[in-house]
Amino acid sequence: MSKPLLDRFLSRAVRQGRLGVVFADGSASTYGTPAPGFPEIVLRFTDRAVPRDILMDPRLGAAEAFIDGRLLIEEGDVMGLVSLLRANNAWDKGGDIRNASWLKRLVGRASFAAEQINNRVSSKNNVAHHYDIGNDLYALMLDAEHWQYSCAYWPREEMSLTEAQGAKLAHIAKKLHLTAGQQVLDIGCGWGGMAIHLARHHDVHVTGITLSEEQATLARQRVQAAGVADKVTILLEDYRDTAASGRRFDRIVSVGMFEHVGRAQFETFFKACATMLADDGVMLLHTIGRFGGPGTTDAFTRKYIFPGGYIPALSETLAASEKVRLIAADVETLRLHYARTIRTWYDNCLAHRDAIIALYDEKFFRMWTFYLAGAATVFEHGGMCNYQIQYIRTRRALPVTRDYLIGSSGGSPDEPGRLRGR
């Protein structure tokens, strides 16, 4: 019964491009029509349960079958497979490849809601699940200089990943409107790339906080090696504890951390930020976001990648920050920058396939590349983007025009001379 239902599902899901499927019983079907720009992919299912698993939850079912080696890609690769499905069901055109039953959706929403509590203990465990798997993997995947595990900024097509990440750091620094000697808080400081950049190029004092022990250890080493240990402090600390300490900061920056807060903690997060931000302070929040309204996190991401995480809609982010009278002074939507960033990470992982398998195993490599393929294509065809939201507490904290964002601001040599967002 599962095979005919999957046949109907794929007939609707693939119209342009070609998808061939060889089933476990030896029969084969082909879906779609060749079209320029659309991949041609051939799959083989090694057991009869694969169609059922995909129908129950297309993303999780296909992912686990691929991870376990029960779904084999005989022509093309996982990036091509996910691209084919996403491109045929683009968010911009009203597409949606989800086909779970009402019961599956209900259970998924209930599970998602339960995981959104994100108290101090669960927050640390959730961060460790993803970031404490070892720095060696990220050394193979990320840019070698800045160690940025977040969306880069690509004002020029010919830039390298390192240059694009440097441009991102400089772009954010402009929005912080820094003055030498200021105290800056970096919430979710990662491996210290932002803190090092701000201390080196803007002569500010940065306190970076993270819940990842692996990140904190390496960040401290990188800060020392960069010669900015007198200006940067890395703490293994929850933002709620930082706020409770009574410290205040001239500037707050948070890049790629808000996605881990959990929807139930949005108001707590912004209340903490408002408490810590000086009266004339500026805050820059860089986060993955959703086009359209609020949603839920899919089962694959919750299980394998970011337990407790949630990608916020702009509406719910602003609604939470409005309650503590943070003024959204500027909002920029980065629509395609993360897609190119993640595709570069994916290429780096393919180039280091043997090294990654030696660190973990083939199942991990398949899981990780499935994650990156899904992430890249959701920014190309799905409902995800990046938001940079600039907050102030008083309307006079910044110049009355945005001219200060144009031209040089003492940033890195990679910094673009003008803003050309996509």
Q: Given a cut of 80, is residue 100 above it in pLDDT?
A: no
Of residues 31 and 117, the one with the higher pLDDT is 31
| Span(s) in the chain for CATH 3.40.50.150 | 118-405
Q: What pLDDT score does 308 carry?
A: 79
pLDDT mean over 249-257:
97
Q: What pLDDT score does 134 carry?
A: 80
| Span(s) in the chain for CATH 3.30.1050 | 2-100
- Least Cα distance to 163 among 419, 414, 420, 421 occurs for 414
Q: Given a cut of 80, is residue 255 above it in pLDDT?
A: yes
For 108-112, 170-174, 213-217, 315-319, which range has the lowest pLDDT when averaged over its residues?
A: 108-112
**CA 147 → CA 169, 341, 376, 389, 404, distances in Å?**
11, 13, 19, 22, 27
Q: What pLDDT score does 290 carry?
A: 95
User: What tens digit of pLDDT does each residue of 34-83 get?
Assistant: 999 999 999 999 999 999 999 999 999 999 999 999 999 999 999 999 99
Q: Given a cut of 50, is residue 87 above it in pLDDT?
A: yes
Q: Three-state DSSP class for 326?
A: coil
Question: First CA to last CA across the chain, in angstroms?
Answer: 46
User: What tens digit of pLDDT does each residue of 364-392 get?
Assistant: 999 999 999 999 999 999 999 999 999 99
| Rounded-to-integer distance, Cα 205 and Cα 416, Å | 24
Q: Given a cut of 80, is residue 97 above it in pLDDT?
A: no
Q: Given a cut of 90, is residue 416 above it in pLDDT?
A: no
Percent of the chain with pLDDT over 70: 87
Place of tokens 């916020």: 312
Q: Given a cut of 80, is residue 176 above it in pLDDT?
A: yes
pLDDT mean over 293-320:
90
User: What tens digit of pLDDT does each residue of 177-198 get?
Assistant: 999 999 999 999 999 999 999 9
Angle between helices 213-225 and 120-131 (to 10 degrees): 70
Q: What pLDDT score does 98 carry?
A: 46
Q: Given a cut of 70, is residue 130 above it in pLDDT?
A: no
C-alpha radius of gyration, the chain, whole number: 22
Q: What pLDDT score does 17 carry?
A: 97
Beta bridge partners of 389: 285, 331
For 81-85, 118-122, 321-325, which range has the lowest pLDDT when averaged over its residues?
A: 118-122
The CATH H-level superfamily of 118-405 is Vaccinia Virus protein VP39 (3.40.50.150)
Q: Given a cut of 80, is residue 131 above it in pLDDT?
A: no
* C-beta of residue 329 within 8 angstroms of C-beta of residue 391: yes
pLDDT mean over 4-14:
93
Q: Three-state DSSP class for 276?
A: helix
Cβ-based burial of 358 (10 A; exposed 0-12, middle 13-18, buried ≥19): exposed
pLDDT mean over 307-312:
88
For 82-96, 170-184, 333-347, 380-394, which range has the lowest pLDDT when averaged over its residues?
A: 82-96
User: What's 199-245 look like in SS3?
Assistant: HHHHCCEEEEEECCHHHHHHHHHHHHHCCCCCCEEEEECCHHHHHHC
- CATH fold of 2-100 reads Nonspecific Lipid-transfer Protein; Chain A (3.30.1050)
Of residues 260 and 133, the one with the higher pLDDT is 260
Q: What pLDDT score does 204 carry?
A: 98
